[in-house]
Amino acid sequence: MSEQNEKTQPKESAADSSAEGSPPGAALKEAEGRLHHALRELSQTSWVISLLAVVVALAVGGLLIIAAHPQVQSTASYFFARPADFFTTSFQVVRDAYSSLFRGAVYDWQAPTLQRSIRPITETLVYAVPLILAGLGIAIGFRSGMLNIGGQGQIILGVTFAGFIGYAMDLPVGAHLLLALMGGILGGAIWGGIAGVLKARTGANEVIVTIMLNNIALYLLAWLLRQQWFVQTGSNQPQSSPVEESARLFTLFGAGFRLHAGIILAIAATFFVWWLMERSTLGFELRAIGENPDAARTAGVNVAKATALVLIIGGALCGLGGAAHLLGTEYRITAGIAGTIGFDAITVALLGRSKPLGTFLAGVLFGGLKAGGVLMQAQTGTPIDIVLVLQSVIVLLIAAPPLVRAIFFLPRPDGRSRSRRRREKQAEEVAA
């Protein structure tokens, strides 16, 4: 218990360290205390900030599209001779890029058939499914004051378990799918649980542990993909057999659409997380340790147990995300199956301010960027890296709410202007 106390009182231990020479790990503990604070701040920022961050990201992306476009570059070289060229070309280029992003993500009015026209929005949801599920898993951690960077590893384990059950077992329709999904949940929960138990028992920093577990998962999968008992393909290529039909998530709209039942799972999980965090006793305890672990302990919360549970539940959701990704669209396990979903999920949770509905919407937005990026690249030749820039700028701005407020001249949340605060500060100094 004494270890627990030390771990959860970062401010005190930091103060101690300056007084009597630094005990080992004090700096880490102090950093952890700041992290706690930052996470709490993040979940309290307004949704307006999230929205504005997206707007700014689109503007920055637009500038980059202009800068990277060869035709715009050529008009820029004679800017003073005929400036109109530069502006019209720039406008056209950005309009084309973003309109194709929209056509690829929502509704394609240039498609030859109605089916192709409405397909983009379903593609957006296909990409959104794993992002939402994993994002919810990360968000639970954020709400409870824990920075779970291990989404990637938890997804990989979920994929591995779900996939192996999916192609190595022979079960009736329904039971097979159910078991594969349970396998995904279990795989993610185990991987999250390792970090959770380590943190609860030994006070290990969850950021470091989860990052390392990501690497372990990656190489574990790479090794498994070279084992014939695992891949069951009879070839040397590092990929598994495809999962059986009976274990695949069924499609919702028939041929021509890839949207599968995973979206139902994502919606259900969103409700579950909302119920868990807002209505259940456990959720109350989790939020309590996120707000103030000491107060939570005083109030009778078993902090160690709650800490482990946060990462187990978070891992389970990430694992389910991986399972839905594999059983819904990919079918074969490959070394790069998880892509960057685990890291994108962190952004999704941040953008969604760690709230269930927010995370769902952020997941759909990121799914849209992925789906739209495909068409944007294919039709306008805009580098798909722009999508990455959009995502990154969004994170940057979300992480720095004052920056967004400064760009849009928004007042501070506490309602005081900067100059007034300065005056107050001066007054305080004078008084002192």
Q: Which residues bind another protein (CB under 8 A)?
A: 76-82, 85, 104, 111, 116, 123, 127, 222, 226, 235-239, 242, 258, 325, 329-332, 334-337, 339-340, 370-371, 374-375, 377-379, 381, 383-384, 388, 406-407, 409, 417-419
When the beta carbons of 2 and 235 are compared against another protein, the nearer one is: 235
State in angstroms the smallest separation of the CB of 35 from another protein.
28
State in angstroms the smallest separation of the CB of 220 from another protein.
13
State in angstroms the smallest separation of the CB of 334 from another protein.
6
When the beta carbons of 127 and 142 are compared against another protein, the nearer one is: 127
d(CA 231, CA 238): 8
State in angstroms the smallest separation of the CB of 242 from another protein.
8
**SS3 category, 171:** coil
d(CA 341, CA 392): 14
**SS3 category, 252:** coil
Q: Hey, what are 194's tokens?
A: 């390792």
Tokens 């999980």 correspond to what residue? 269
When the beta carbons of 141 and 262 are compared against another protein, the nearer one is: 262
State in angstroms the smallest separation of the CB of 198 from another protein.
26
When the beta carbons of 40 and 332 are compared against another protein, the nearer one is: 332
| Helix, strand and coil in the chain, % to nearest 5 | 75, 0, 25
| Cβ atoms of 154 and 54 closer than 8 Å | no
State in angstroms the smallest separation of the CB of 236 from another protein.
5
Picking from 188, 192, 217, the residue whose alpha carbon sits closest to that of residue 206 is: 192
State in angstroms the smallest separation of the CB of 208 from another protein.
21
State in angstroms the smallest separation of the CB of 187 from another protein.
19
State in angstroms the smallest separation of the CB of 432 from another protein.
26
Q: Hey, what are 394's tokens?
A: 């969004």
How many Cα atoms are found within 13 Å in the side-chain-facing hemisphere of 298? 6
When the beta carbons of 50 and 377 are compared against another protein, the nearer one is: 377
When the beta carbons of 28 and 252 are compared against another protein, the nearer one is: 252
When the beta carbons of 28 and 395 are compared against another protein, the nearer one is: 395
**SS3 category, 17:** helix
When the beta carbons of 11 and 258 are compared against another protein, the nearer one is: 258
d(CA 398, CA 432): 36
Picking from 198, 217, 189, 199, the residue whose alpha carbon sits closest to that of residue 144 is: 199
d(CA 139, CA 146): 9
CA distances from 411 to 18, 56, 397, 416 (A): 36, 18, 16, 7
| Cβ atoms of 61 and 93 closer than 8 Å | no
When the beta carbons of 293 and 373 are compared against another protein, the nearer one is: 373
Beta bridge partners of 251: 260
